[in-house]
Structure 1
């Protein structure tokens, strides 16, 4: 008993196909109408006078059973209905039985196999013609043609209607299949076009940008190999910074070229920058500044904390772009990079980069480093892919001075939580859960070209 109770009910009692609700209603209406006609003796005269009157109800019951199963199990419902109709004509025909038989014929053509549909349609036409011709020859009375027309109405009309609806249904299914195939071909064409464009971009980057970076790295290395002419320490340091940045840029360019060429691979290689590389990033920034600007990192996160790969990559890119903008535009002073977790929102990572603005307005026409304004757009897109928040613009510093602040908040559950798929490197895969996803744009105060 215990073992039997543990087995699910669906496994203990498998059920076959069930009658459709409309078929149940049709069978019930036919049975009720037949009983009403039988009660008022509104049935045709039987071929012989012997036998009880209730025999006419047996073909009616069989026809109702065939109606219940008309959508499945063909041709058996058709065979049962045909036998019931022949019996009905023998013992005294009820109009309800004949009407149900026309529905069984219609269903056999519509729901049966293609071979059965063709056979029923041809047979109905042949039987109608034979009955009409036989009655006309036997009785030699033109009025027998009316009986043949009635026979055609019972046999040919429902089968022809079923064939027309079946053809329409098959045509609609073929059109849907054709539309799906067209959409699939269009998607394949789009992927091929995207792949060709990615390959073209990879070739352009390799032939133009990567070659220039390689030339810079080679020439800076050659310059470092020459002996110092007197006090050339600053020159050698500058050459060292040029070489280090060109080599790193060349490595990033090669990684990007490989990403563009590998269209079927992951959207980002596994060896991507992370927050562990911020110290090296700031060290290079200090070497490139050399004009009184300092760079400091304040990491207030728990020691040894690991974040999902998309979050680490986005955070690194935000800091990298903000530091690059500080090298281009910031006044002399301290550039600070702070990472922390808000106590009120422990599942988020806060990134704050501040650089001094100075007393000179930004848009005063003074010469400045070139910029296309794409840096802020790129940062915003990376943050929005993770459903985070980003603000960028002038702000008040700790001592009341004016600073340019880039503040980003990223949803950052711990690595153990399955909220972020680590296989995606730029957040374009499955997004993490929404932790304060209100969208913020840069402040519309006067901006530097970043």
Structure 2
């Protein structure tokens, strides 16, 4: 490609009309589309200033405006913050202050402006290349005509032109067609064929043959696929048909070969050359697209790897949270069991020992208190042993040790509620109301254990916080729900006042957690008479008789 000249003609300041020019396709991959035309906006047409272009960057010290009012612009690969004039030159937009807005080197706006200007610069360069090609062909053809390379065809239809300069005029028409070969390659080729027919009528010349050769090359390079297919078909048909006709006319195989070589050189060689150039351009474009695709795939793979790493990190954090949650849940369950089992027995021991110490010495009562203390201590040890065995066991075993472990670690059930209440009756009056036979009836293991632990904690709290106050434990069943109520009236009874043991304050929390864990309800609070009531209900399966009646 030829370089852009040093100076570009300035645009007249008195321009009033809006010209329209045809945009030529830029050189490069032949598959690039060609713009139909471009119009100058009216804002540029009115009051336009002269523009002078340069091929080198004068540097940051150059004045943005010249003394003659022309804005200095750059026509290098780094055009700066520029826009395109209607004739394709690069023009700096002048602000109100009369200077060009500076753009930082390497900024996105600077490169976008350069990218926008390149197609127009390429089109201008294409037009200049075509003009140079047309002028060169005309000069070379004129020399060939002056040398006398005419009359290449000997046939009856050949006539001599009236004037010798007619051949020069015909050559000029062909060179004018070269100027439009990029925008309209097929139309230019048809015009070239017409010029060639006239030239053959005058005996033919090498100058017009060069014009046809150039137009054939342009048509094969820049036309569409369908036009190229037709072009190849016509060219091969003409070459073969002309060779056969020449051979038949001369009745000589050598004439057939000579004519075939000539027509092949004139018609097929430029098309083959253009096809080769086009193929290389398409392969280069395809290689670029593949490189872009590979880059995008690599970028996508990198993003996928990042996402996978992030996903693995998220899964690791989720697993860590699950482990923490499992540990927290296990600790909460252990805390409930320790509170309901061990703390209950220890509270009983503290209550009985405190009552014995508060009363006057009495051998019989002291012995009964010691027996109750021992019973609670042994029960506490058994419960502690069962919990230790459960925590140390690695799984269920089918041997005798496993059966013994199950027997020792068996949780409390409502069937043992009488034994629990019997221990409490040593210090206060405890009444059990079970009209529906809930304590002796079948219940789900989880509900049975939860109700027993809630009753155990509620009775222990009543004995601890209201010593001597009568306690009522009531069990009832309504369909698929079992309700438990533990009530005391808060009034001190026959037991002497003692200092209550310290409490961790988690009894209500553990009872609520057990009820909520089964989807039940829990409520606790003072009564109007000054006592305390605990109510809990848990869902259970309905009895078979109730299911049949339903």
Query: Given the two structures, how large is their TM-score scaled by the length of structure 1?
Result: 0.45
Larger Rg computed on CA atoms? 2
Query: Given the two structures, how large is their TM-score scaled by the length of structure 2?
Result: 0.38
Q: Larger relative contact order (C-alpha < 8 A, sep ≥ 6)? A: 1
